[in-house]
Chains A and B, each alone.
Chain A
């Protein structure tokens, strides 16, 4: 069974703190993604990675960075959390290659509140 695990379901942090959101997938997928979900705005892509050590900016990368040291793990980092980063963060993975069905496999999300 497909599994994307986000280590923290709920986090409360203070402005200026460094925040790590961890994501692990057990499907040997090469591609991994971080989205944030906000009401009315849908899911917006923050960063993605096509392979280990590779990363690409998505649509809203400002204030975020990522790390992909191992194929199964993709971390999202908020260097200095701000209140406008309060959101639901979703990690996803997908298999690469031609004939890809379009299916992203999502984790259950990490709800971050920055005070």
Chain B
């Protein structure tokens, strides 16, 4: 049973397009929602993160939108570039459970030149 559901599994966009990755969670006790980016042959690395008291957060071309009532959050990659081609994981954690991260299934994004 996955507590964090991520979609789609894969995504292909043209350079300059805006890939959107969606995640949904069940447990309302989650209080921290990071996104990780993984390039082939590398381990995941923290990209951006949000807390549920904020509806949107931007870092460079990456934006997280958070909808607490719907228990959903999404990652938008603005003006996507071929170098953004990677696998993206959403995750959630709760302080009450020692901040252990629960990951979504991952989305492989390919940005074509």
- Nearest-neighbour CB distance to chain B for A80, whole angstroms, equals 27
Name the prevailing secondary structure of the A interface residues: loop
Q: Identify the closest chain A residue to B106 (Cβ).
A: A42
Complex CA gap A48/B93 in Å reads 15
Q: B101 near A102 (CB under 8 angstroms)?
A: yes
Chain B residues, Cβ within 8 Å of A107: 43
**B8-33 near A? 1/0 per residue, CB < 8 Å:** 01000000000000000000000010
Q: A104 near B105 (CB under 8 angstroms)?
A: no
Q: A41 near B41 (CB under 8 angstroms)?
A: no
Q: Identify the closest chain B residue to A40 (Cβ).
A: B105
B89 proximal to A (CB < 8 A): yes
B100 proximal to A (CB < 8 A): yes
**A38-49 near B? 1/0 per residue, CB < 8 Å:** 011111110010
- Nearest-neighbour CB distance to chain A for B70, whole angstroms, equals 21
Given contacts A40-B9, A42-B89, A43-B89, contact A106 B103 (CB under 8 A): no
Interface residues of B in 38-73 (CB under 8 A from A): 41-46, 49
Interface size on B, residues (CB 8 A): 25
Q: A90 near B43 (CB under 8 angstroms)?
A: yes
Q: A42 near B105 (CB under 8 angstroms)?
A: yes
Q: A101 near B46 (CB under 8 angstroms)?
A: yes
Q: Identify the closest chain A residue to B93 (Cβ).
A: A102
- Nearest-neighbour CB distance to chain B for A36, whole angstroms, equals 11
Complex CA gap A45/B106 in Å reads 15
Complex CA gap A45/B103 in Å reads 9
Binding site for A on B (CB under 8 A): 2, 4, 6, 9, 32, 34, 36, 41-46, 49, 89, 93, 98-106
Q: Which A-B residue pairs are the 10 nearest by beta carbons?
A: A106-B43, A42-B103, A43-B103, A42-B105, A103-B46, A102-B34, A42-B106, A102-B49, A40-B105, A108-B43
